[in-house]
A and B are shown apart, each in its own frame.
Chain A
Amino acid sequence: EVQLVQSESEVRKPGESLTISCKSSGYTFANYWIGWVRQMPGEGLEWMGLVHPSDSETTYSPSFRGLVTFSTDKSTNTAFLHWNSLRASDSAIYYCARPYSSGWSDPFDIWGRGTLVTVSS
């Protein structure tokens, strides 16, 4: 079974750093892009960008470029989303997701359950 298992909820203070994870199983990790999607409380879905595990190629939405960093670890089939300095406005659920084929412009058919990030002083 193809699965993306995300790390548990996190609570941090503004200015702190954070990395959340998304571990894949059931398919060849290096062959598919991994995407990240933000959902702020009570709001809609925001496409953050993509990372390809084979060469760490990334593409970021202009709204998130410079604010977050995507990375992967092929040895553990895991993708990561990292913040150097969190803001209260980063409080949201973050989903990782995989496109239904190896193309970067395909819709996401496999989703993790989401990681809730709460940033509060």
Chain B
Amino acid sequence: IQLTQSPSSLSASLGDRVTITCRASQDIRIYLAWYQQKPGKAPKLLISGASRLESGVPSRFSGSGSGTDFTLTISSLQPEDFATYYCQQLNTYPPFTFGPGTKVDIK
């Protein structure tokens, strides 16, 4: 299964609403996770099951979608949100593919 993410990068301002899309080449039901990775750090799990927010993750993050099309939304971008975001499918293995990533930086 191939995952594509769009855009590959984006520039946004503090307070902006940001939406990242992840598209799967086949139906993956809701078996999609989203991660945030900051430079020099390990990834951090934000969302599992396409829309379930992990404990401790701010509520400005949300996920939606099923089947082949998914979105990660940040409702109001904060300074600590500038990072690279990856989706991962966990429906069909091996491998449990990661998407290519979306880099969010400051406009």
Q: Mark A residues whose CB is within 8 Å of B.
A: 37, 44-49, 59-63, 95, 97, 100, 105-109, 111-114
What are the residues of chain B within 8 A of A112 when measuring CB–CB?
42
Cβ–Cβ contact A45 & B95, under 8 A: no
**What secondary structure prevails in chain A residues at the interface with B?**
strand
What are the residues of chain A within 8 A of B37 when measuring CB–CB?
45
Other-chain contact of B98, A47, A105, A109, A113 (Cβ < 8 Å): A47
What are the residues of chain A within 8 A of B54 when measuring CB–CB?
100, 109
**What secondary structure prevails in chain B residues at the interface with A?**
loop
Cβ–Cβ contact A59 & B48, under 8 A: no
Cβ–Cβ contact A106 & B95, under 8 A: no
What are the residues of chain B within 8 A of A44 when measuring CB–CB?
86, 98-101
Tell me the complex Cα distance, A112–B31, Å: 23
Cβ–Cβ contact A60 & B100, under 8 A: no
Whether a CB of chain A sits under 8 angstroms from the CB of B67 is: no
Cβ–Cβ contact B43 & A111, under 8 A: yes
Tell me the complex Cα distance, A49–B35, Å: 18
**Nearest-Cβ distance from residue B76 to partner chain A, whole angstroms:** 25
Whether a CB of chain A sits under 8 angstroms from the CB of B51 is: no
Cβ–Cβ contact A47 & B88, under 8 A: yes
What are the residues of chain A within 8 A of B99 when measuring CB–CB?
44
Tell me the complex Cα distance, A107–B44, Å: 10
**Nearest-Cβ distance from residue B103 to partner chain A, whole angstroms:** 10
